[in-house]
């Protein structure tokens, strides 16, 4: 299905289509709201079979223009459209729409013929379905990965077979368009009970029904033998995995049942029925072919659907969307009806909530000293910066989850001490990445995760993007060519990056060495003939933090001290980098430079570094470099684009930081601009 040239327009009466995220990329042409002035080659577009599209359809017919029906695709949103309206996919149908069994559609026509089927498409379909099953992906992806403990306990108690019925909200258009009726839901329950006399029958109802916002098709107050109503907001595949048979009228959960390898019975005619894959209570004479599951999936998800990167707005392939959804599933995120943020400075209060994610509710800020007096609710989650409030956090009730936050690894253009709003943070339930004395979510992921080809490929692509754009954590310093090797006269050149003394990463990750002086002395002692270049930490140079090294030590241990140069230029001009726990070691690793660690940074202990101190036995696994990059940047990190304050991806942040760094030339802000920024954040925090 080929679109018109992109100089032709899409005309619509819908403001949602005209202004919707990514719509121009998805339609492949500019969008104009209003039908007047249509010209040859333009198309008219409307949403599905909505009643309010009649005028647009009539206009298209009268003026002999194509009419396209649009709908969300089958991998629809990162979360839920009520929380994040940026869609991931769209279907564009030139004939009808997939859920209307009364009329032909492009998807139905596609499945009735064979000229599009290729081994490559089927291979892509198999790989995609495997990842969807493993990570329980769906149209909406806001629900928890696992079932609620209470529901899990009920299912575990019943030892016999289980079947699942899927309710739909009363008046759902897909019911009538799917050759079905409201009466079929009662028929479906009766059939499920009769056909499965020893099974527990689960009835999945919509959460809005339980909340009283919408009406369903079952009386949930009525007691049934062997019937368990499930109103929890759960990932569909998490529930489907626990049953043997799925009954639907027209719900997409029937398709997800097929993907999960379950028997599926359809009382209506959803688009995936009638192809020999489902047990159908109705016959659709228009569907004349038998299809394999791979063919059905390839047609619906790959050929029929279009995808857009929710962060860049660019048209992408399905696999890119699965990459984003999988990474979001691979690590726990804060969940709670209220997020209690402990001990955050005023300037952080305005922006920090943007990183918590849609599953964490409104943010309440309290002082660390007030934890013991604060009234916590069972549905709260607690967030605290680093490890500074650990002793006071002991007063948080044990059943309430506590998360630790820290700056991420693609942070900003400029220093945290200069109040640069961060582009990335990390959130950790077990500990925090720089604390080698106890496990962290990052360490646990790296130690136990089996990386697949897609994940390693994304890690490799991101690493290459970082190299090409020369992005680092703070992106400060004057860029230029450095020639240490000429001055070294053939000796090995070692870069020693300084750190802020008293930094938590030293306290928790380098117990035997906690000063820049000690590091320089150790490097010189172990490398008597090397040419050693010392680069003090930017925050130390500005006078914001402690960590200065005496002139005497510099004379004895360093051949050269470099202050203003860009850290990437320094790394690329040396043979080795020696660190305590500095992130510069990681930046050197991804550039192929040998790294020696005198502490236990998060990237040590995985077979990628020379470790002088040793590392926790919890690590002890050799990681591929691109696996480390993927785990750290794609899974562990949380990203927000400014000034919009919307979640984004590491790839988009790399691009944004590179563009901003190029515009500023890496120059540090003036004192006036720093004071102005601090005042602005203070005002924002006070009036929030």
Averaged pLDDT of the chain: 90
Which of the listed residues 623, 644, 674 is the one where a domain comes to its end?
A: 623
- Quickly state the pLDDT bin for 658 (edges 50, 70, 90): confident
pLDDT tens digit sequence for 481-495: 899 999 999 999 999
Residues 89, 208: one domain?
no
The pTM of this model reads: 0.89
Beta bridge partners of 92: 70
Residues 285, 370: one domain?
no
Closest CA to 115 of 295, 306, 301, 300: 295
Residue 585 lies in a domain: yes
Residue 685 in this model has a pLDDT that exceeds 60: no
What separation in angstroms does the CA of 138 have from each of 167, 280, 322?
Answer: 17, 23, 10
- Quickly state the pLDDT bin for 663 (edges 50, 70, 90): low
- Quickly state the pLDDT bin for 2 (edges 50, 70, 90): very low
Residue 614 in this model has a pLDDT that exceeds 90: no
**pLDDT (0 to 100) of residue 417:** 43
Residue 668 lies in a domain: no
Q: What is the DSSP string of 15-57?
A: HHHHH-TTHHHHHTS-EEESSTT--TT-EEEEETT-GGGHHHH
Using alpha carbons only, what angle is made at residue 542 by residues 539 and 544, rounded to the nearest 5 degrees?
60
Closest CA to 627 of 467, 465, 445, 466: 445
Residue 650 lies in a domain: no
Number of independent structural domains in the chain: 4
Residues 107, 126: one domain?
no
Residues 439, 479: one domain?
no
Reduce the DSSP state of residue 315 to 3 states and report it: strand
Q: Which residues of 634-657 are buried (b: 16+ CB within 10 A; e: fewer)?
A: bbbbbbbbeeeeebbbbbbbbbbb
pLDDT tens digit sequence for 231-275: 888 999 999 999 999 999 999 999 999 999 999 999 999 999 999
Comparison of pLDDT for 656 and 592, the residue scoring more:
592
Q: Which residues of 456-475 are buried (b: 16+ CB within 10 A; e: fewer)?
A: bebbbebbeebeebbbbbbb
Q: What is the DSSP string of 621-655?
A: -PPPHHHHHIIIIIIIEEEEETTTTEEE-HHHHHH
Which of the listed residues 282, 303, 324 is the one where a domain comes to its end?
A: 303
What is the percent of the chain with per-residue pLDDT over 90, rounded to a whole number? 74
Reduce the DSSP state of residue 535 to 3 states and report it: strand
Print the domain residue range for 77.
10-111
Residues 477, 441: one domain?
no
Q: What is the DSSP string of 231-280?
A: -S---HHHHHTT-SEEEESS-THHHHHHHTT-EEEESS--TTSSSSSSEE
Whether the ω angle into residue 643 lies within 30 degrees of 0, i.e. cis, is yes
pLDDT tens digit sequence for 183-241: 999 999 999 999 999 999 999 987 667 666 778 888 777 777 899 999 888 999 999 99
Residues 349, 287: one domain?
no
* Other CB atoms within 10 Å distance of the CB of residue 248: 30
- The end-to-end CA distance of the chain, in Å, is 49
Q: What are φ and ψ of residue 33, in 5° steps?
A: -85, 130
Closest CA to 334 of 144, 148, 150: 144
Residue 688 in this model has a pLDDT that exceeds 70: no
Comparison of pLDDT for 292 and 473, the residue scoring more:
292
Residues 403, 430: one domain?
yes
**pLDDT (0 to 100) of residue 219:** 78
* Other CB atoms within 10 Å distance of the CB of residue 182: 15
Residue 246 lies in a domain: yes
Euclidean distance between CA atoms 132 and 128, whole angstroms: 6
Euclidean distance between CA atoms 26 and 81, whole angstroms: 17
Residues 440, 588: one domain?
no
Residues 195, 97: one domain?
no
What separation in angstroms does the CA of 118 have from each of 95, 114, 291?
Answer: 24, 9, 14
Which of the listed residues 111, 139, 168 is the one where a domain comes to its end?
A: 111
**pLDDT (0 to 100) of residue 680:** 61
Residue 165 lies in a domain: yes
Closest CA to 597 of 501, 472, 509, 478: 509
pLDDT tens digit sequence for 293-332: 999 999 999 999 999 999 999 999 999 999 999 999 999 9
Residue 493 lies in a domain: yes
CATH of the domain at 154: 3.40.50
Euclidean distance between CA atoms 512 and 503, whole angstroms: 14
- Quickly state the pLDDT bin for 4 (edges 50, 70, 90): very low
Residues 148, 220: one domain?
yes
**pLDDT (0 to 100) of residue 556:** 94
Residues 503, 481: one domain?
yes
pLDDT tens digit sequence for 550-602: 999 999 999 999 998 889 999 999 999 999 999 999 999 999 999 999 999 99
Give the distance, in angstroms, between the CA of residue 206 and the centroid of all CA atoms in the same chain: 25
Residue 455 lies in a domain: no
Residues 367, 513: one domain?
no
In this prediction, residues 10-15 reach a mean pLDDT of 95
What is the chain's alpha carbon radius of gyration, rounded to the nearest angstrom?
Answer: 29
Strands 402-407 and 424-428: antiparallel
Residue 193 lies in a domain: yes
**pLDDT (0 to 100) of residue 416:** 44
pLDDT tens digit sequence for 398-418: 999 999 999 899 865 444 444
């Amino acid at each position: 299905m080929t679109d018109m040239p992109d100089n032709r327009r899409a005309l619509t009466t819908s403001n949602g289509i005209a202004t919707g995220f990514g719509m121009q990329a998805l339609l492949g042409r500019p969008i104009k709201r209003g039908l007047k002035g249509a010209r040859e080659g333009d198309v008219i577009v409307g949403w599905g079979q909505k009643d309010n599209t009649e005028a647009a359809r009539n206009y298209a017919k009268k003026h002999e223009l194509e009419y396209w029906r649009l709908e969300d695709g089958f991998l629809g949103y990162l979360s839920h459209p009520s929380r994040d309206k940026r869609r991931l996919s769209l279907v564009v149908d030139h004939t009808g729409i997939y859920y209307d069994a009364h009329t032909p559609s492009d998807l139905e026509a596609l499945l009735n013929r064979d000229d599009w089927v290729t081994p490559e498409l089927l291979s892509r379909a198999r790989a995609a379905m495997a990842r969807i099953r493993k990570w329980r992906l769906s149209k909406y992806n806001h629900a928890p990965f696992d079932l609620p403990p209470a529901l899990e306990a009920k299912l575990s108690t019943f030892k016999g077979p289980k079947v699942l019925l899927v309710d739909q909200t009363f008046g759902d258009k897909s019911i009538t368009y799917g050759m079905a009726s409201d009466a079929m839901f009662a028929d479906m329950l009766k059939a499920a009970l009769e056909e499965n006399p020893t099974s527990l029958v689960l009835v999945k109802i919509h959460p809005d029904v339980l909340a009283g916002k919408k009406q369903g098709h079952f009386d949930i107050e009525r007691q049934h033998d062997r019937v368990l109503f499930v109103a929890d907001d759960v990932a569909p595949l998490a529930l489907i995995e626990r049953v043997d048979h799925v009954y639907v009228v027209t719900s997409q959960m029937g398709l997800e049942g097929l993907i999960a390898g379950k028997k599926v019975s359809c009382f209506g005619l959803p688009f995936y029925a009638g192809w020999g894959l489902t047990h159908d209570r109705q016959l659709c004479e228009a569907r004349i072919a038998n299809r394999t599951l791979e063919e059905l999936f390839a047609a619906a998800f790959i050929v029929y659907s279009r995808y857009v990167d929710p962060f860049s707005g660019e048209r992408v392939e399905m696999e890119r969307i699965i990459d984003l959804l999988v990474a979001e599933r691979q690590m726990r995120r804060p969940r709670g009806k209220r997020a209690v943020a402990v001990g955050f400075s005023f300037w952080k209060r305005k922006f920090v909530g943007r990183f918590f994610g849609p599953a964490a509710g409104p943010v309440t800020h309290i002082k660390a000293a007030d934890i013991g007096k604060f009234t916590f609710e069972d549905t709260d989650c607690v967030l605290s910066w680093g490890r500074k409030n650990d002793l006071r956090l002991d007063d948080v009730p044990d059943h309430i989850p506590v998360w630790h936050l820290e700056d991420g690894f693609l942070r900003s253009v400029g220093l945290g001490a200069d109040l640069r709003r961060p582009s990335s943070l990390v959130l950790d339930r077990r500990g925090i990445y720089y604390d080698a004395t106890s496990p962290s979510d990052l360490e646990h992921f790296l130690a136990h995760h089996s990386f697949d080809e897609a994940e390693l490929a994304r890690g490799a692509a991101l690493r290459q993007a970082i190299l090409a754009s020369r992005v680092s954590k703070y992106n400060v310093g004057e860029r230029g060519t450095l020639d240490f090797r000429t001055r070294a006269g053939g000796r090995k050149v070692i870069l020693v990056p300084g750190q802020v003394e008293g930094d938590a990463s030293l306290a928790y990750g380098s117990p035997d060495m906690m000063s820049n002086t000690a590091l320089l002395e150790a490097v010189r002692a172990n490398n008597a003939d090397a040419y050693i270049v010392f680069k003090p930490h930017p925050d130390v140079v500005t006078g914001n933090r402690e960590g200065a090294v005496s002139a005497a030590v510099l004379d004895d241990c360093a051949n050269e001290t470099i202050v203003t140069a860009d850290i990437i230029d320094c790394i690329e001009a040396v043979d080795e980098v020696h660190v305590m726990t500095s992130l510069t070691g990681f930046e050197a690793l991804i550039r192929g430079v040998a790294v020696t660690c005198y502490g236990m940074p998060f990237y040590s202990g995985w077979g990628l570094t020379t470790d002088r101190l040793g590392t926790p036995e919890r690590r002890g696994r050799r990681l591929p470099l691109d696996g480390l990059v993927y785990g750290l940047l794609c899974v562990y990190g949380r990203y927000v684009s400014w000034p919009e304050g919307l979640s984004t991806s590491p790839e988009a942040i790399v691009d944004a930081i590179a563009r901003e760094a190029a515009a500023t030339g890496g120059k540090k802000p003036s004192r006036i601009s720093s004071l102005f920024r601090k005042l602005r954040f203070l005002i924002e925090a006070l009036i929030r």
